[in-house]
Structure 1
Amino acid sequence: MKSIKFFSSLLLLTFALACSSSSDSPPNCENLANATAAARAAYEAATPSNQVALCNAYKTALQNEIDNCGDEFGDLQDIVDGLNCTASTTTGTLSMNLGSAPLEFDEITVTTTGTTRHVHGEKSNTTSYEIDFDVEIGQTGANKINNFQLRLFSQTYTPLIPAAFGNNWTTNITVNSSTSVVGTFRGELANASQTSAQDLLGGVVDINF
């Protein structure tokens, strides 16, 4: 009977030590990094209605990772410092022709993450048309528009390179300041399966933010 009591006491002590050890264990930095990545993805897909909330959520995730896991080279802090989570007022023109049909976006937002400026456009009277692209802060000249996407109804179109019918993808940014982006873009677009194509002509970005 005594040996049974001693064995039971040893089990209780082992369990108590295990609980104490887990409560003092370091944070799971992989989980925090994954949470930051998820917050960034959500923020980069933000719409005008949830942009501020998702920006603040991303900033909080970054700060949690810094506080619990450190930031040896200051990369995460640089992102935090570069985030502007206030609602922006963007005016100007973001338009194009799809073949002969004009398409203009009257709801435009510009967000900045690090050195990348993200432009998003929607039509206020429908959810069927959206445009997204990135430009690096301060860069001007040819081929400075990156990650271009045009969503039409349920399809997402990206530049078709090389072009199938001769309208090669071309972009040119002439102004890229702290308050404005001006440039042009045109070319053939295709959906992910390349079963549908769009001929984008006369694309214009001329916005102030």
Structure 2
Amino acid sequence: MKKLHVLFLFIMMVAVTVVSCDDEPLEGVFSVTGDGSDPSEPDPDSETCQLAFDTFVAAQAAFSSATEANYSQACGAYATAIQATIQLCGDASGTLQATLTSLGDCSTPDPCFQAEINANAALGALNNASSDNEEQLCLAYSAALEAQIEACGDASGNIQATIDALNCGGDCAAAQVATSEAREIFNAVDPLDEDAYTAACADYSMALQTQIAACGDADGSLNAIVLDLGDCSPPEQDGPVQVTIGDVFTNFNTATVSISGSLLSVIATDIDTGDTFTFDIVLQQTGDNVMQNTTLTVGGVVHTASIEATTPFVNNITANDDTTIVGTFSGTFTNPDNEEVLTAGGVINIVY
């Protein structure tokens, strides 16, 4: 009856976390034998006691996961199972009765108490684990403790300390640790350091894939991160000129400024496509529509800013000195065939 003795040990552990309420324990006569009579003396080694424990464990699992809608029913079944276990197996320490008392009248759900019950059930299962299921039960206990923190809080930090001290072992646990470490390194890397970013991203992606292989990915959340990381190319940095052309956002990565007397000539280039945005402006001149000779080259076709279109090209320059040009623009450009291309949300932030 090793299993039975472990279950008794589990019940004692439950009592440690039970907070007694002022409610009276459920009262009534619970028939536990076929003819309706009570057993004269509890026998922990009897088959009827073992059956009571099996019912107790099942009722406990249902209670710990009960929702608000079925709480009263699950609580009542759990109370009945506890009472039957007391009558058939005994309760010399009073721990079962303490749990029964804490249930009160089963009218008010107590998520914290349910989480405590679930965590202790998971610990009881772990203490009775075999080599085949020890890792799985260890991880289940860790998850139950995390749920207990969410439901009850952990002001003392003792629950988190228990989680941190767990050594579930196995490939899955090792993979989870490796993923956590790789994630911390990746989150700390400077995206502007392209080599470091690519290396950290690749390590993180590989750790995630190893965790998926070792632990599974039931909700697909880990694979979603892998897909988001993609080929680990560094994220494109904001260019000195950005604008939406039609419905396509374009980032002009670089800009050069040529100076001839007081006239500045700007060429902004999208290095991925070769498209360009160009304009001239007089040094120190700011305000509305001060940009001159503005063109947009897309796919090798030059488009000229149009001030006569239904949506005319407009611009506003707020800073223009010997180091910086800052402003906004939007509106229509036309190609040699007089076809219109609309731009929106143009931003200029050039430092030279």
- For normalisation by structure 1, the TM-score amounts to 0.52
- 1:100 counterpart residue number: 247
Mapped contact 1:191–1:197 kept (Cα < 8 A): yes
- 2:320 counterpart residue number: 176
Q: Deviation at 1:192? A: 1.9
Give the length in aligned residue pairs.
Answer: 115
Note if 1:191 corresponds to 2:347.
no
- CA separation in 1, counterparts of 2:297 and 2:278? 9
- 2:7 counterpart residue number: none
How do residues 6-85 of structure 1 correspond to structure 2 at under 5 angstroms?
none
CA deviations 1:20-47 (Å, max 9, x no partner) are xxxxxxxxxxxxxxxxxxxxxxxxxxxx
Q: Deviation at 1:101? A: 1.1
Note if 1:122 corresponds to 2:269.
yes
1:167 to 306, 311, 315: 311
- CA separation in 2, counterparts of 1:110 and 1:99? 26
Note if 1:112 corresponds to 2:256.
no
- CA separation in 2, counterparts of 1:109 and 1:123? 12
- CA separation in 2, counterparts of 1:108 and 1:186? 18
- CA separation in 2, counterparts of 1:126 and 1:189? 19
2:289 to 143, 147, 163: 143
* Bigger Rg over Cα: 2
Mapped contact 2:307–2:314 kept (Cα < 8 A): no
Q: Deviation at 1:100? A: 2.2
Amino acid at match of 1:157: H
Q: Which runs of 4+ in 1 moved over 4 A?
A: none
Q: Deviation at 1:161? A: 2.7
CA separation of 1:167 and 1:193: change in aligned 2, threshold 3 A: same
CA deviations 1:31-88 (Å, max 9, x no partner) are xxxxxxxxxxxxxxxxxxxxxxxxxxxxxxxxxxxxxxxxxxxxxxxxxxxxxxxxxx
Higher strand share: 1
- CA separation in 2, counterparts of 1:109 and 1:206? 12
Mapped contact 2:296–2:303 kept (Cα < 8 A): yes
CA separation of 1:147 and 1:208: change in aligned 2, threshold 3 A: same
Superposition RMSD in Å: 1.5
SS of the equivalent of 1:149 reads strand
Q: Deviation at 1:201? A: 0.5
- CA separation in 2, counterparts of 1:201 and 1:157? 15
Mapped contact 1:105–1:123 kept (Cα < 8 A): yes
- 1:156 counterpart residue number: 302
- CA separation in 2, counterparts of 1:145 and 1:130? 16
The percent of aligned pairs where both chains have the same amino acid is: 30
- CA separation in 2, counterparts of 1:177 and 1:92? 19
Q: Deviation at 1:193? A: 2.6
Note if 1:205 corresponds to 2:352.
no
Mapped contact 1:120–1:131 kept (Cα < 8 A): yes
Mapped contact 1:92–1:208 kept (Cα < 8 A): no
Q: Deviation at 1:200? A: 0.7
SS of the equivalent of 1:175 reads strand
- For normalisation by structure 2, the TM-score amounts to 0.32
Q: Deviation at 1:92? A: 5.4
Gaps of 5+ in 1: 1-90
Gaps of 5+ in 2: 1-237
Amino acid at match of 1:150: L
